[in-house]
Structure 1
Amino acid sequence: MAEVGLAAFSSIVSEGSKTLFKPIIRQVSYLFKYQSYIDELKNQVRQLGYKREMVQQPVNQASLQGDEIYEGVTNWLNSVDEFSEGVAKSIIDDEDRAKKSCFKGLCPNLISRYKLSKQAATAAEAAANLVGEGNFSNVSFRPTPRSTGHIQAKDCEAFDSRMKVFQDVVEAAKDDKLNIIGVYGMGGVGKTTLVKQVAKQVMEDKSFDKVVMAEVTQTPDQQKIQDKLAFDLGMEFGLNESTFQKAYRLCERLKKEKKVLIILDNIWTKLELDAVGIPYGDVEKERKDDESGCTIILTSRNRDLLEKDMKSQKNFLIEVLSKDEALQLFECIVGDSAKTSAIQPIADEIVERCEGLPVALSTIANALKSKSLDFWKDALYRLRSSNAREIHGMRANVFTSIELSYNLLEIEEAKSLFLLCGLYSEGHAIQVPSLLRYGMGLCLFENVYKLEEARSRVHTLIDILKASCLLSDGDAEDEVKMHDIIHVVAVSIATEKLMFNIPNVADLEKKMEEIIQEDPIAISLPHRDIEVLPERLQCPRLDLFLLFTKGDGSFPISMQMSDLFFEGTEGLKVLDFTGIHFSSLPSSLGRLTSLQTLCLHWCELEDIAIVGQLKKLEILSFRDSDIKELPLEIGLLTRLSLLDLSDCWSLEVIAPNVISKLSRLEELYMGGSFSQWDKVEGGSNARLDELKELSKLTTLEIHVRDAEILPQDLVLMELERYRICIGKKWDSWSVKSETSRFMKLHWLEKVSILLRMKLLLKRTEDLYLSKLKGVQNVVHELDDGEGFPRLNRLQVKDCYEILQIVGSVGRDNIRCKVFPLLESLSLTNLINLETICDSPLTEDHSFINLRIIKVKACEKLKHLFSFSMAKNLLRLQKAEVDYCENLEMIVGKC
């Protein structure tokens, strides 16, 4: 009746007078539409409650992670609480009072109704505004450590003797009058640790826009230095760019930074900065505050090198630790056991013999912690009985302290792996896959016969060496590093065991003759300038031979190698040639009947048929080599367990039935390589069907251009790890180290053929979808609606027909767990994407692990999350949305 009255009142107002009477109409509406205003307030309060929950959950999770909450988020939550518990609650509670009648029930209480209705309308508007203000893309941030005025290091490493030097270097780095600063001290004293802390401090202080760092080493690799600096700057070089081109691009990039700190660690000889691409300018010139420029910090063992050759303007000496500091570091690592009356005097003498060097103290302390008194006594006895050696300026007793850490390794396999690492060039990354392949060829791992078992064993041994401070993490995945002091010790110990790492000597042929007389068991020529080798190797006991040419990585080096080179070396088990141009492989290679591991990386290879004579070969790798054909003879290698053809871009021909004959194959790598399955111009090629004959296969990387040739029953369910690209083009795509099963579906026109791969898709951990046709619903059409139970990361790009990522037939509730393990979701250029999830989720574990979501150029997307999806996002840390012009809200219906 009230609504009719209001309508009648409005109808008598002319159109021309509506503007004049609009305020009056609104006031009257407070009397006749009070229930509508109350209901609208309740609805807005309910929506506000939903929004508050969506904000509070990630806030709680972020707090548990130690992150800090943005002030605006905290203020919004407080405002919501004040509104809900104060204004809104008061109005809703007064609703009963307004319903009471006056004049003994003859008419409504118009005054109360008017006041309450007006308050409700105002409060509903305020609630709606709060809902709108609660659309936070992120609620928290990872705080930077607060500066405490000293080195931000573990308590074990924060010494008074380092504080003054640290502070002085930080101040020098900030001084606009200084371009080049030197830090020097003996090997193992802690130069690298200190400059890393300086880098951290100046970034916290925002003194520099960028900090980049590269290790130079005793044998500088210009390309490696350039690549590391570029990586830190977010640059990428082309595959075939020369060092000159890289230097130019790097220089131009560095000039664009207003203030950049460049750290070049471990310099042994003069380094031409301009050849690397570092613009250091006139060192005498004072820079203005608004002028761009580079500040360079150099570390070296030699002050004269810094001053005279590198023109450093100010140099800082890092000395060894004092006796008290050395004991403090040692006791911090070994724990309270060093303070017992029985062990204390032993600990004191051991510390004294380490002569204040942190690297020596750390290695021996880690070897002794948690050991018995007898173990400590034996360690001291060994130190006393060892001959102190001075190598490359290493102080007396330092060698023996590190050697003792090696001797105290309780597992012989760990010792062997340590010596293998010593065969690499000092300062260069040590590739874990190579250690595995060498170790298998040398039968280093006891009672290990399968590659999967060997991989686990290698990682276990590396952890043991890291725990003893004999190895450290590398800069990239599947790499480790060795401190240069420890590398010197490793080389020396290996030499005693007739395992030779040959330096870049002037007369290599003479040096090789000397070593051959020693009857060696291993020879390594890592990253050397080599043009000619001896005519014959003639090392009957030789098990391993490694030769890595220096090169710049863009092209192999031509080398003269006699056909007789391997005569007298028939017992060789591991052979690795990297970066060499072979017009033909030496004919004596066929005599290596004991060879088990053969690696020919970054080589130019023509006729490789002779490899088929190596009947005991178990591991064969042509990674990154220029090879056009895999001949029939490779099929004779029936003991082969690993074949690596990764990134052999020229490989177009694999003879039929070669792969299928390799029945013992456990790992097959063909990523970025051969893709012409079944047919090749003028003949036939290997078939995908041949993979079905490889019953022991656990690892597979392949590219299949033509999805139509996929066999109906190609399941490969036993694969432990795989990287499979199906479609027109193999592009490298980033993968997470924690995951091991990747698939890329790229530029496919008939997705129905992927029904054959659905079992693999269900086990996939990292999935990349690009330019697919015929797919509207990712989960329903590619996974039978099972929700991708193992997927960790999903990237979808340029799929123009996709309407939703998750949906159900008939828009019923989705009852399965959808993406229960998914951590990262990236959606790019999905121009018809309407919603991520178009139906309510009934499973609480759907999307529960999602941490990162990135959405870009999805024009039709109106909301990011549905309500049923958003309530599960307890771990969400980051949400990025770009160029989504029609996005109206973060959380919407469904």
Structure 2
Amino acid sequence: MDKLLEIVTNAAEIVTKAATLLCPDFEENTQTLQRKIELLKSRKVDVQADLQKAGKKRKREVEDWLINVENNITEFETLEQEIQCSRFYSRQKLAERVERMTKEVIELDDQSDFPGGLFLEVDESIGQLMLTPPHNGQAFLQNFNDIWSSLMDDNILSIGIYGMGGVGKTTLVMHAHDNLLNEPKFSGHVYWITVSQEFSIHKLQSDIAQALKLDFSCGSDEKKRAAQLFQTFQKMGSYVLILDDVWKQIDAEKIGIPPRRDGCKLVITSRSEEVCHRMGCQRIIKVNTLSKQEAWELFFKKLDRDELHPEVEEICKKMVKRCGGLPLALVTLAGSMRGVTDIHEWRDASEELKESCMGRADMENKVLPILLYSYVRLRDPKLQRCFLYCSLYPEDFSIEREELIENFISEELMDRRLSWRAENDQGHAILNQLERACLLERVWDEYYVKMHDLIRDMALGITKHNPRYMVKARLNLREIPDVQEWTEDLDKISLMKNSIEEISIGMSPNCPRLSTLILSENHLKSIPDCFFTQMRGLRTLNLSATSIQYLPHSISDLENLRTLLLRHCFSLKSVPTLEKLRLLTRLDLSYTKIEELPDGVESLTNLKVLDLVGTSLSMIPTGILHSLSLLQQLKLPIHRGVPIEDVLALKRLEDFCGSVNSVSDLNRLITFLQSMMPPSFYCIFLISKFDEQIIWETSRGKLVGFGKESLMGSSLGEGKILLPRDIEKLIFSRSGLSGSLADGFQMLNNASYVKKCNVWYEDEIECIIRLSSTEEQQSRGVPFQSLEELSLYELPNFIGLFMWEGKAAVAPLLPGIFTQLTDLVITDCDKMKKLIPWSLLQTLPNLQMLEVISCKEIEEIIGDEDDDGSPVINSSAEVTMPRLKILSLGNLPKLRSVCKGMMICDSIKNIIIMSCTNLKKVAPLDGQPSPPPSLKEIEVYAKEKEWWESLEWEHPNANNFLQPFVKFIPF
């Protein structure tokens, strides 16, 4: 026996040595791949969040990227299992897979930049990267001209811009930044970094690397990181690096910023002229305050009044004088007084402002009292609570409105309402009031708000006393603050967006008053059990997007907890019992690895929000949901059908995402939802098998989806399928549709109200509508009268939008079909040769965006044929598309013509043509004596420049006048 044991031991050593000799770096390479996979997961989450928020048409390349990311994540999970049970003879193959996957993951990370954005049309109000606020008169223009002339002067390589807080330094430089993006000499290499008061070398290096899309290969060593940054800048050529809000001297060499070099510019903004001098700025520009006249004009504009009573005007002028020409103070003060008409209130306000500023000699110190006055002017405690809550987010951070409102509700900062919709409306009203008071500013349309750094300073100043906050958000902390900082009087703590990996064993802060703890977006893997034992008053715990693998059992004893957020904790597999958390109103376990509902969920009788989307739940036990009678929002994983009787018992449900198993269940659920107050949102799927693609469409909206084989066989024997009357979007994915999409719509009640439709992977679909006699069309009705967006993907038998029944001439389409269609996207439909018949083009009068990608057989976009196959359109015919703004054509190897006739599109803005090298002419650019008036850009692959220059043009000068619009995109 001993001899046998010795042989086995020796054999094991040989196996280990052999594996090491064959693949010496295998373990390290595997760990590197794992880290890159985690980063890719985070980037995927960010991209999906941006797609959900923006509500615009995403690019095909974005969807392809998401699919590739998910495939790599799945393959890596399989790879991990194989590694665990591998032997030396398979280790070499595994090492090769690790190497291949690492390259793929790096490529995917590089691709995540998405040049030109995620969407097919960038909102003009946003610009490319920054939303530049409107400027303030002559002073702004003078300052901007000084900055711009310095930027264009080849002899000036470093520029310092200084002035007091709130004077408009950042606004000026944002304006310069947006203009520099279009400056050919810098080729788009313009990088904006916000430094802020909480400065560290490590954090600044990380921020610069993120802007450069650079992945540090040297870990956390600051010297090695500096060397890597230095090399990246050196290889770049000309660039502009903007460091905004610099509070003290920065050693550029320690950061990795190269010394002065021709063609490269360093721009800093600071409140201190001395900082500009110490950083060796060659040109230093002071941003002055506004003149009396400009200050008055700005204040009056923001006050939004046509005229003022003479006495009120006199008071206003005194107030304006106290602002000292500082734009931020003027805007904020005017916002706080907007709508005030009573003279007594004006006089009282003037006196209050005067007292708040007394004893403050310098203008910098007078600003905060003015801002504080605007906070006091809110009067309403709930407005003040919600405003202060915004300071928990990092400096210079765009905060999602919906997320804020969800937190306002769960933190009980607002008045209680009977329904979620009413509370949501109240939240939007509060944010609008704070915007009107100029304490928040709106960014990215209606989706985000932001706090000016001075206003945030004022808010944090308030929260040093009552209520008491500790805010250390996005400061690149690697360790949790010392226990001495966790004082007994703290109300809220925010440590979000740091690099904290662990909490010391034995740490147990004494914070009996603490109501909110935010640890989201850290690398935290575990929490010691004693950590929460002295936080019995905790009401909100946010651990979202951490690497937490398990939760301490002490969470089970937080009986005052109202909100538990664990969203995107991808490593979390289980949660301790929740039986005692009977006051919990919001539980978010979405995108975790839990496979079973936590014990005690049935005891959460006060629960209003339950989110389980993206989990791997094996089942939802019957009766569990029935006990949660107060649920207003319920979001379930779509790979499992919901117990329909349990859902029908939820009389307060307003927001639902989940799957049902049959047409009967679908009809019952929709009838139930419509019988109450119409739901705010729903994503309902009739699905018999899990379909990964659909889950990406479970954004907030009003959506019904049909998954694998759900429209085949016996399920259709249950009668007509109901759709909600207010449905916005319809999805078909391997559902079993055949013939035409219009035939599928015939099975659906209320389908004529659908605004958006996606059709994916339907093997039997041949067209959208079959053309037949007028009588037959009338009998079928008008199926697409409300349709605005149509997306078709991978339909192998699809031949075109329209299909004739026989070769005989047919009557025209019934009025109303497709008249509302604005967006048409077609991808991977390889059987299609022509997309739109010329004779039926008039049925698409409102088409604004047309994208055709990777359709291998397509020859013409717009075309017709006689019975003998000869084309109907001749070169002199005119084709008009009056509202087309975007034409995107890619990877169409047989495409010969967009349209044989002359194509008139005066509204066209963007044309993207890539890998269509058989195309000889480009409508709607051909035959015109000048570019279309709205044209902004023509995108072509850089490698196809020779093809572009070989195009034929009717007008002899076409190539010349189009050249300024052409942008060659690297492959």
Could you tell me the TM-score, scaled by structure 1's length? 0.67
Q: List aligned pairs for 1:588-737, cutoff 5 A.
A: 588-603=554-569, 605=572, 607-648=574-615, 652=618, 654-670=620-636, 674=637, 677=640, 687=643, 690-702=646-658, 713-715=668-670, 717-718=673-674, 719-724=679-684, 726=687, 727-731=689-693
CA contact (8 A) 2:578 2:598 kept: no
Aligned partner letter, 2:762: C
Decide which of 768, 772, 775 is 2:738's aligned counterpart: 775
- Say if 1:247 and 1:363 are closer, same or farther in 2 by CA, change over 3 A: same
Is 2:758 aligned against 1:795? yes
Partner of 2:262: 286
CA contact (8 A) 1:556 1:581 kept: yes
Partner of 1:428: 397
Aligned partner letter, 1:632: D
Partner of 2:787: 822
Structure 2's unaligned 5+ residue stretches are: 1-120, 126-130, 805-810, 867-971
Partner of 1:199: 177
Q: How far did 1:399 drift?
A: 1.1
- Say if 1:229 and 1:808 are closer, same or farther in 2 by CA, change over 3 A: farther
Q: List aligned pairs for 1:179-194, cutoff 5 A.
A: 181-194=159-172
Partner of 2:339: 370
Q: How far did 1:483 drift?
A: 1.0
Aligned partner letter, 1:162: F
Q: 1:813 is paired with a residue of what secondary structure?
A: helix
Partner of 1:807: 770
Question: 2:449 & 2:728 partners in 1: Cα distance?
Answer: 25
Q: 2:310 is paired with a residue of what secondary structure?
A: coil
Aligned partner letter, 1:805: I
> Identity over the aligned pairs, expressed in percent?
25
- Say if 1:390 and 1:730 are closer, same or farther in 2 by CA, change over 3 A: farther
CA contact (8 A) 2:577 2:599 kept: no
Question: 1:230 & 1:817 partners in 2: Cα distance?
Answer: 54
Partner of 1:485: 454
- Say if 1:634 and 1:361 are closer, same or farther in 2 by CA, change over 3 A: same
Q: How far did 1:566 drift?
A: 4.0
**Aligned residue pair count:** 712
Partner of 2:142: 164
Q: Deviations over 1:449-506 (max 9, x none)?
A: 3222211111111111112211123459743211111111122223342231344799
Q: 1:546 is paired with a residue of what secondary structure?
A: strand
Is 2:440 aligned against 1:471? yes
CA contact (8 A) 1:403 1:489 kept: yes
Aligned partner letter, 1:597: T
Question: 1:307 & 1:754 partners in 2: Cα distance?
Answer: 76
CA contact (8 A) 1:184 1:191 kept: yes
Q: How far did 1:430 drift?
A: 2.8
Could you tell me the TM-score, scaled by structure 2's length? 0.63
CA contact (8 A) 2:590 2:614 kept: yes
Deviates more, 1:349-358 or 1:210-219: 210-219
- Say if 1:566 and 1:478 are closer, same or farther in 2 by CA, change over 3 A: farther
Query: What is the RMSD of the two structures over their aligned residues, measured on CA atoms?
Result: 4.9
CA contact (8 A) 1:778 1:806 kept: yes
Q: List aligned pairs for 1:499-518, cutoff 5 A.
A: 499-503=468-472, 508-509=481-482, 511-512=484-485, 515-516=487-488
Q: Deviations over 1:283-325 (max 9, x none)?
A: 43324xxxxxx7554434345556656x765443323223332
Q: How far did 1:243 drift?
A: 9.7
Aligned partner letter, 2:140: R
CA contact (8 A) 2:640 2:659 kept: no
Partner of 2:385: 416
Q: 1:668 is paired with a residue of what secondary structure?
A: strand
- Say if 1:834 and 1:231 are closer, same or farther in 2 by CA, change over 3 A: farther
CA contact (8 A) 1:745 1:770 kept: yes
Decide which of 742, 763, 766 is 2:703's aligned counterpart: 742
Q: 1:612 is paired with a residue of what secondary structure?
A: coil
Partner of 1:837: 802
Question: 1:242 & 1:748 partners in 2: Cα distance?
Answer: 49
Decide which of 862, 876, 897 is 1:890's aligned counterpart: 862
Q: How far did 1:357 drift?
A: 1.9
Aligned partner letter, 1:404: Y
Question: 1:703 & 1:248 partners in 2: Cα distance?
Answer: 53
Q: List aligned pairs for 1:22-61, cutoff 5 A.
A: none
Aligned partner letter, 1:699: D
Q: How far did 1:220 drift?
A: 6.9
CA contact (8 A) 2:562 2:584 kept: yes
Q: How far did 1:668 drift?
A: 1.9
Larger radius of gyration: 1
- Say if 1:331 and 1:143 are closer, same or farther in 2 by CA, change over 3 A: same
- Say if 1:377 and 1:624 are closer, same or farther in 2 by CA, change over 3 A: farther
Q: How far did 1:615 drift?
A: 0.8
Q: 1:465 is paired with a residue of what secondary structure?
A: helix
Aligned partner letter, 1:199: H
Q: How far did 1:333 drift?
A: 1.7
CA contact (8 A) 2:442 2:450 kept: yes
Question: 1:256 & 1:752 partners in 2: Cα distance?
Answer: 62
Partner of 1:556: 524
Question: 2:398 & 2:205 partners in 1: Cα distance?
Answer: 15
Decide which of 384, 403, 413 is 2:354's aligned counterpart: 384
Partner of 1:854: 825
- Say if 1:729 and 1:540 are closer, same or farther in 2 by CA, change over 3 A: same
Structure 1's unaligned 5+ residue stretches are: 1-140, 146-150, 288-293, 679-685
- Say if 1:780 and 1:144 are closer, same or farther in 2 by CA, change over 3 A: closer
Question: 1:396 & 1:877 partners in 2: Cα distance?
Answer: 52
Partner of 1:459: 428
- Say if 1:474 and 1:828 are closer, same or farther in 2 by CA, change over 3 A: same
- Say if 1:578 and 1:324 are closer, same or farther in 2 by CA, change over 3 A: same
Deviates more, 1:185-194 or 1:706-715: 706-715
Partner of 1:34: none
Deviates more, 1:245-254 or 1:430-439: 245-254
CA contact (8 A) 1:823 1:852 kept: yes
- Say if 1:224 and 1:466 are closer, same or farther in 2 by CA, change over 3 A: farther
Decide which of 413, 421, 446 is 1:444's aligned counterpart: 413
Q: Deviations over 1:192-226 (max 9, x none)?
A: 22122213333456555435645454457999999
Is 2:874 aligned against 1:874? no
Partner of 2:370: 401
Q: How far did 1:360 drift?
A: 1.4
Aligned partner letter, 1:453: A
Aligned partner letter, 1:779: A
Q: How far did 1:735 drift?
A: 6.9
Question: 1:219 & 1:425 partners in 2: Cα distance?
Answer: 11
Q: How far did 1:343 drift?
A: 1.9
Partner of 1:547: 518
Q: Which has the higher contact order (CA 8 A, sep 6+)?
A: 1
Question: 2:591 & 2:722 partners in 1: Cα distance?
Answer: 31
Q: How far did 1:405 drift?
A: 1.8
- Say if 1:365 and 1:283 are closer, same or farther in 2 by CA, change over 3 A: same
Aligned partner letter, 1:420: Y
Q: Deviations over 1:151-184 (max 9, x none)?
A: 9974xx3322222331232234345566654433
Q: Deviations over 1:508-536 (max 9, x none)?
A: 446545x41xx444444444666349955
Aligned partner letter, 1:318: V
Aligned partner letter, 1:409: L
Aligned partner letter, 2:176: V
Question: 2:202 & 2:734 partners in 1: Cα distance?
Answer: 36
Q: 1:299 is paired with a residue of what secondary structure?
A: strand
CA contact (8 A) 2:420 2:654 kept: no
Aligned partner letter, 1:185: G
Decide which of 540, 543, 566 is 1:577's aligned counterpart: 543
CA contact (8 A) 1:792 1:824 kept: yes
- Say if 1:632 and 1:241 are closer, same or farther in 2 by CA, change over 3 A: farther
